[in-house]
C-alpha cells in the first residue's frame, strides 16, 4: 500500500502544514492466537448489524468463529462475497447486496489479504459504517491504514482512496497468519523493511506524511523499532510457518509488519523504494510478483542512490537473501534484463509522487544506472 499523496487539511493560508505535527492511527489493535474470537465484543462496541466482506476462501477461514463470537453478543453476522479486483463497480454491487431487504449494516468486518481488506474498506466508506479489519496474512501494511486502492477492469491501479478515519479496530489472529503461504510473509517483510529508510528521506527533505503534516518523534521511533524487530526476528519468525504455530519471534515479526509498518508509512511518508512500484510492473515477468518483493528490490535501488558503502550494501544483500527477498530483476521474475527493460522501469518510476522525498532530484538515467549497478553487484 501507499502510493497516496498527503491529504489537504483545509487549513487557512496562515498555517504552514510543515509546522504542524500530526499522528494518526488505528483506534484499537488486538493481536495473538485466537484474536478473531474478539470479533463479537469489538463489533458490539461499534454497531448492531455486522457485515463480513471477504472472498469465499477467507469466509471459510473466519466466518464460523466470527459469527459465533457475534452471536454471544446478540449480533447476527451476515456475509457478502468478494469476487475479483477492487473496482468501483464491484464495490457498488456489494453495497447493494448488503442493503437487500432494507438492511443498513453499521459495522463492516473486512477480512483477507490485500483484496478483501481493501474491498471491505471501500464498502464501509460507502455504507458510512464502522470498520474492523481481520487480516489473514501479514503480506502488506494495509490493515491499520486509512488508504486503499481502486483498480480498473484491466487490473491496473486506478486511484488511491482514503477513508475518513483509520480503522476502528484491527484483529490479527496469529493462528490464522501462521498458516499463510511463506511468500506472503516475505512480501510483508519487504513492505515493512523500507519504512525506516523512506521515512528518513521524507523527514530529512521537508516532506509531509500521509496526514498532510510534519512527522513526529513517535513516528520516527516506531520506524526504528520496525526495522530492528525485522532484522532480529524475521529469520526465526519465518521458521514458525513450518510448524504452523505462532512463536514469540513470529508474534514480534507480525506486530512489526502489520502495526509498526502501517503506523510508520502513514505517519512518515514514502520515498524511492515505493517509487519503483510504478516502474517494475512494466517489465515483463514481474506483473504477478507481490508488492513487498517490488518494494524490497526498490529499497536496494534507493540504497545505491544514497551512495551507501560497500559494507552496508553487502549486509543488506545478505539479509535480503536470508529472508528470501529479491536482490535483482531475475528474482522478481524479470528475465530480459537488457537496457530497454531497465529504461522502461526507470521511465515508469519517474511518475511516482514520492520522488520529491529524496536528498536530490533524480532523473530516469539515475535509476537506470542504479539498477545496472545492482545487477552487477548480484551477478
Q: Out of 2, 4, 24, 199, which residue is the one contacting Zn ion (CB under 5 A)?
A: 2
Coil, helix or strand for 334? coil
Q: Which range in 1-9, 114-122, 239-247, 343-351 contacts Zn ion by CB under 5 A?
A: 1-9
Size of the site for Zn ion (CB under 5 A): 3
Distance, CA of 171 to CA of 152 (rounded, Å): 29
For Zn ion, give the closer residue by CB, 65 or 349.
349
102, burial (CB in 10 Å: exposed 0-12, middle 13-18, buried 19+): exposed
Shortest Å distance, C-beta 35 to Zn ion: 23
d(CA 345, CA 77): 45
CA atoms within 13 A on the CB side of 225: 19
296 sits near Zn ion (criterion: CB under 5 A): no
Q: Residue 151: count other Cβ atoms within 10 Å of its Cβ.
A: 18
Closest C-alpha to 296, from 268, 312, 274: 274
Interface with Zn ion in residues 141-200 (CB under 5 A)? 191
The nearer residue to Zn ion, 7 or 44, going by C-beta atoms, is 7
Minimum distance, C-beta of residue 371 to Zn ion, in the bound complex (Å): 19
DSSP secondary structure letters along 87-146: -HHHHHHHHHHHTGGG----EEEEEESSHHHHHHHHHHHHHT-EEEEEESS--SS-TT-S
Looking at the Cβ atoms of 79 and 151, the one nearer to Zn ion is 151
In the complex, minimum distance from the CB of residue 321 to Zn ion, in angstroms, rounded to a whole number? 21
Alpha-carbon distance of 86 to 179, in angstroms, equals: 24
Please report which residue ranges of the chain form alpha helices under DSSP H.
39-44, 56-71, 88-98, 115-127, 174-177, 182-193, 195-204, 217-243, 248-255, 261-268, 272-279, 291-305, 310-323, 339-349, 364-377
Q: Site map for Zn ion, 62-81, x if CB under 5 A?
A: --------------------
Q: Which is nearer to Zn ion, 191 or 266 (CB)?
A: 191
Q: Which is nearer to Zn ion, 172 or 299 (CB)?
A: 299
Quote the least distance from Cβ 277 to Zn ion, whole Å.
7
Closer CB to Zn ion, residue 130 or residue 266? 266
CB 325 within 8 A of CB 291: no
CA distance 346 to 138: 29
First to last CA, the chain: 30
CB of residue 6 to Zn ion, shortest distance in Å: 16
Partnered with residue 332 across adjacent β-strands are none
Provide the minimum distance between the beta carbon of 274 and Zn ion in the complex, in angstroms, as a whole number. 6
Contacts of 66 (CB under 8 A, 6+ apart): 36, 39, 40, 52, 77, 109, 111, 134
- Pick the closer one to Zn ion by CB: 49 or 223: 223
- Complex with Zn ion: residue 195 or 203, whichever CB lies closer: 195
Min dist CB 101 to Zn ion, Å, is 39
Q: Whose Cβ is closer to Zn ion: residue 59's or residue 274's? A: 274
Radius of gyration (Cα) for the chain, nearest Å?
20
Q: How far is the CB of 248 from Zn ion (least distance, A)?
A: 26
Q: Which is nearer to Zn ion, 168 or 191 (CB)?
A: 191
Give the shortest CB-74-to-Zn ion separation in angstroms: 39
- Least separation in angstroms between residue 195's CB and Zn ion is 9
Cα separation, 254 vs 281, whole angstroms: 27
Give the Cα separation of 194 and 202 in Å (integer).
12
Positions that interact with Zn ion (CB under 5 A): 1-2, 191
Amino acid at each position: 500500500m501507499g502510493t497516496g499523496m498527503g491529504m489537504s487539511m483545509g487549513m487557512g493560508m496562515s498555517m504552514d502544514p510543515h509546522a504542524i505535527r500530526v499522528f494518526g492511527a488505528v483506534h484499537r489493535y488486538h493481536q495473538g492466537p485466537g484474536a478473531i474470537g474478539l470479533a463479537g465484543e469489538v463489533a458490539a462496541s461499534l454497531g448492531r448489524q455486522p457485515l463480513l466482506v471477504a472472498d469465499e476462501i477467507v469466509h471459510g477461514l473466519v466466518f464460523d468463529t466470527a459469527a459465533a463470537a457475534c452471536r454471544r453478543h446478540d449480533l447476527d453476522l451476515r456475509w457478502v462475497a468478494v469476487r475479483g479486483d477492487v473496482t468501483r463497480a464491484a464495490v457498488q454491487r456489494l453495497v447493494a447486496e448488503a442493503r437487500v431487504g432494507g438492511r443498513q449494516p453499521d459495522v463492516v468486518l473486512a477480512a483477507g489479504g490485500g483484496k478483501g481488506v481493501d474491498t471491505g474498506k471501500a464498502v464501509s466508506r460507502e455504507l458510512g459504517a464502522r470498520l474492523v479489519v481481520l487480516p489473514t496474512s501479514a503480506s502488506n501494511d494495509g490493515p491499520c491504514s486509512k488508504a486503499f486502492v481502486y483498480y480498473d477492469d484491466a487490473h491496473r491501479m486506478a486511484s488511491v482512496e482514503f477513508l475518513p478515519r483509520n480503522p476502528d479496530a484491527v484483529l490479527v489472529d496469529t493462528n490464522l497468519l501462521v498458516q499463510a503461504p511463506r511468500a506472503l510473509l516475505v512480501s510483508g517483510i519487504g513492505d515493512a523493511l523500507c519504512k525506516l529508510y523512506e521515512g528518513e528521506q521524507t523527514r530529512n527533505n521537508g516532506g509531509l506524511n500521509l496526514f498532510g503534516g510534519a512527522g513526529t518523534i513517535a513516528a520516527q521511533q516506531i520506524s526504528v523499532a520496525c526495522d530492528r524487530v525485522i532484522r532480529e526476528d524475521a529469520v526465526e519468525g519465518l521458521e514458525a510457518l513450518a510448524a504452523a504455530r505462532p512463536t514469540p519471534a513470529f508474534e514480534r515479526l507480525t506486530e512489526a509488519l502489520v502495526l509498526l509498518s502501517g503506523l510508520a508509512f502513514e505517519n512518515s511518508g514514502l520515498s524511492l523504494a515505493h517509487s519503483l512500484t510504478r516502474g517494475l510492473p512494466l517489465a515483463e515477468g514481474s506483473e504477478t510478483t507481490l508488492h513487498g518483493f517490488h518494494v524490497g528490490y526498490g529499497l536496494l535501488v534507493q540504497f545505491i542512490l544514497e551512495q551507501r558503502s560497500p559494507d552496508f550494501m553487502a549486509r543488506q544483500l545478505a539479509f535480503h537473501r536470508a529472508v528470501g527477498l529479491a536482490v535483482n530483476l531475475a528474482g522478481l521474475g524479470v528475465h530480459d534484463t537488457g537496457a530497454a527493460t531497465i529504461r522502461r522501469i526507470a521511465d515508469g518510476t519517474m511518475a511516482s509522487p514520492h520522488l520529491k522525498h529524496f536528498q536530490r532530484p533524480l532523473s530516469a538515467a539515475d535509476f537506470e544506472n542504479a539498477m545496472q549497478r545492482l545487477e552487477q553487484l548480484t551477478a
